[in-house]
Structure 1
Amino acid sequence: MSASHGPDVTLFFPGREFGPCTGGSLSKSHRLSWRRYATAHDMIRNFSHIDAIAREGTPVRLAALATDQEEFLRTIKIARDLGYITPILIGERETICRVAQEVQFDLSSVKIHEERDLQAVANKGIELLFDGEADIAMKGHIPTSFVYRSIIHHEKLIRGRKSISVNTLWDVPGADHLITITDTGVSIAPGYETKKRILAESVFLMRLLGYPAPRVMILSASGTWQDGAGKSGDRSMLKADADRGDFGPCEVLEAASLWELYPSQEFMDISGSDRSLPFLPHVFMVPHLDAGNILSKLDFILDVTRRSLVMTSRGPVIIPSRSDTHQAIVGEVALGVVVARRLRGMSP
């Protein structure tokens, strides 16, 4: 499947009542559900696999928002040289060109959109994504709130997603698959309906990455399943939704901790460099933003690697952390490239 451009751009969403195209003047051809993405993708087991796939195929168009600092322009240069992207830069032209000289980045063939106001920068980049002139967008030296505000505005214009969420993927040594933690960036204290959309988004993303029936653990401060997930009954209701097939093929695990799923000795015997963690769920859903933000940033003390993105109705948006190095951000770009290609049916 390939995306159309201009006013008739293909919309991507996770499925059924969670998708953006549930009414109005949009044609049925735009109402793509998870069933359209049920065909098997190669399973991506780690970030090295993602990097290898990103180097293959045609570069995707990346709209880079406010990349007027050395770390971000270095990221764009490396990603372009690796064949991941064709960059489109948005920001102050004079500053961008000056910093590009410092990192020896030839901009002679790079399109630059001149914008100075930070909200205008965010709006232009997300506009390019939603108009089909870019395949992915990436936040640079700009507060994340400006980017989220623009995404939400454009989703409303097309009657798209009712909410957005951040998926933070971990590459965990010993695991034979990637895991994602959600929501790690947007919803402060989501209610049941918002949690449904967050969970649908994560399951959809993991299916794109090659996991046909992701396993989900819904995290909570409570020690038993029956106590719910932040609000009474949320966890049980989300499991009932999953069992009914509302999220497509997936399994919500009826457990409050990994201890409940696996024999104690099996869970204990995971120390050392040869540990094996095949039992880890694919999706960890947190009850609120504080938990998600803290958990996702534990890569600073744990032996895991982190990459994050936001899925929109037009494709992924990369949201690097302020503390990320250019090497880490290049990895996040690779993730966005692979997701964008799989959404649009691009090769590979």
Structure 2
Amino acid sequence: MIVENRIFEELAVGESAQMRRLLTVDDFYIFATASGNHNPMHLPHVDGDGDGLPEAVAPGMFVGALVSAVLGNLLPGPGTLYRSQSLTFHNRAHAGEELLARVTVTAKTSDGCVGMHTEVIRPADGTLIVTGEAVVEAPRRKISYDDHDLPGLIVQRHRHFEALLARAEPLPALITAVVCPEEANALQGALLAASHTLITPVLIGNSARILATAEALGADLAGTEIIEAPDARAAARAAVDLVNRGGAGAIMKGHLHTDDLLHPILDHDHGLRTGRRLSHIFVMDVPGVNHPLLVTDAAINIAPDLLTKVDIVQNAIDLAISIGIAVPRVGVLSAVETVNPAIASSIDAALLSKMAERGQITGGMVDGPLAMDNAVDIAAARTKGLRSEVAGRAEVLVVPGIDAGNMLAKQLAFISHAEAAGVVMGARVPIILNSRSDSAMARLASCAVAAVHHARITAGAA
């Protein structure tokens, strides 16, 4: 948008301008970071006055800045400088409300200054929020510029995981077999999820080490069931047996190798097979992306063939539906967006797309091959002439192999500041996989993903 000013000579008493602004949660986080004002009354996730509810009150100077925006952008516009500003607050505004800021010229003086009456109202009901008087130095020369040249801001906030936790916490706690929680991060993650009523942990492993770890953490395990197992393989076997007896609805990896955890799960006679290949899914909350992003498979299947990819895609669709994506858009990635016989992943992607078209993969829309840019960016997709329902809008990214998946997930985590929840699908129950470097939010989100998926599957089976 081109912004142009009104110079001193052009201004007339009684002239006014106004601007509307919808207040968002991100506005308040940005203001807190930029100003250094971390008053909990203004932070949307904090209860500042102890009434049990977050207040999310618009900071006074943020509301005042809406007046400044009208002065600097519209009237007088670019080149305007403040001399003074008074503010009287009549009511409070909150996140989610729209405000209207208005300025009106009341006087012009010989030194080039302009008096302005300023006010901010809530137009939905006419409530007066702020009134005041400003004196500004009006610009003396015409200025115009394109405000699209300003850099954008992305708030490093994980709103999708926050919504996922809010959805999972009211559900009955998922009884979860936690295998070898004999190290601080493994045990702490399970206890943290239990404190949020996401899971009811059953701790399986060396009880002496588990109790010693709890003591070192200052954690109380009173009322928590502990099942003794001499080693990692035995603990994993006990977890599978517990699921088979109906005593648990999920398995959570503790301090053991993934191979040791999966070995009894994959046992042909006594394991948890369903006839579908197991696959790992990262559910990622990427700042700036307006939906969760699922990446698969980045941890289990090293170089999957076409039939394995069919199961990888179906597992991801099933999980995406569980977390609230009604008809998941699945982008099958390759280095190119056209089929190239020399690039095997592009052929697999095209076949998976056609298989979904023919009903061999169900529940979602599948398109490929897609390069990363035109899978997630609508402008890139349009530039390449791609106009499918998936191109530029993919919510699930299916990678060619484990190396690409691992690189993509870690790039999103360490460069794009994403949080990642890790779950293995394809067994009779979800398997929660966390690493020692995972944050508290990632651990909670992994349990929340398992809980909402279990709730959907059991509701469908009832």
The interval holding the TM-score normalised by the smaller chain is 0.7 to 0.9
Q: For the Cα contact (< 8 Å) 1:156–1:162, is it kept in 2?
A: no
Q: What is the SS of the residue equivalent to 2:288? A: coil
The residue that corresponds to 1:106 in the other structure is 220
1:127 aligns with 2:241: yes
Gaps of 5+ in 2: 1-158, 384-390
Give the partner amino acid of 1:196.
Answer: V
2:279 to 165, 174, 181: 165
The residue that corresponds to 1:242 in the other structure is 356
Q: What is the SS of the residue equivalent to 1:77? A: helix
Moved >6 Å (runs of 4+): none
Give the partner amino acid of 1:103.
Answer: L
Gaps of 5+ in 1: 1-44, 268-277
Q: For the Cα contact (< 8 Å) 1:183–1:289, is it kept in 2?
A: yes
Cα distance, 1:60 vs structure 2? 1.3
Q: For the Cα contact (< 8 Å) 1:189–1:289, is it kept in 2?
A: yes
1:184 aligns with 2:301: no
Cα distance, 1:330 vs structure 2? 2.6
State percent identity of aligned pairs. Answer: 30
The residue that corresponds to 1:297 in the other structure is 410
Distance in 2 separating the partners of 1:144 and 1:158: 15
Cα distance, 1:157 vs structure 2? 4.9
Give the partner amino acid of 2:459.
Answer: G
1:308 to 416, 422, 425: 422
- Between 205-214 and 63-72, report the one with greater CA deviation: 205-214
Q: What is the SS of the residue equivalent to 1:247? A: coil
1:263 to 379, 383, 386: 379
Give the partner amino acid of 1:313.
Answer: A
The residue that corresponds to 1:281 in the other structure is 394
Cα distance, 1:56 vs structure 2? 0.8
Q: For the Cα contact (< 8 Å) 2:374–2:381, is it kept in 1?
A: no
1:318 aligns with 2:318: no
Give the partner amino acid of 2:247.
Answer: E
Distance 1:124 1:219, change over 3 A: same
Q: For the Cα contact (< 8 Å) 1:171–1:304, is it kept in 2?
A: yes
Distance in 1 separating the partners of 2:441 and 2:269: 31
The residue that corresponds to 2:449 in the other structure is 335
Distance in 1 separating the partners of 2:251 and 2:418: 25
Higher-Rg member (1/2): 2
Distance in 2 separating the partners of 1:187 and 1:104: 38
Distance in 2 separating the partners of 1:116 and 1:157: 20
Cα distance, 1:171 vs structure 2? 1.0
Q: What is the SS of the residue equivalent to 2:360? A: coil
Render the CA deviation track for 1:56-104: whole Å, top value 9, x for unaligned. Answer: 1321101101101122222222222221221100011111112212223
Which structure shows the bigger proportion of residues in strand conformation? 2
Render the CA deviation track for 1:283-320: whole Å, top value 9, x for unaligned. Answer: 11011111111211220221321111002432211111
Q: For the Cα contact (< 8 Å) 1:224–1:256, is it kept in 2?
A: yes
- Structure number with greater CO (CA < 8 Å, separation at least 6) is 1
Q: For the Cα contact (< 8 Å) 1:62–1:135, is it kept in 2?
A: yes
Distance in 1 separating the partners of 2:404 and 2:283: 15
Cα distance, 1:192 vs structure 2? 0.9
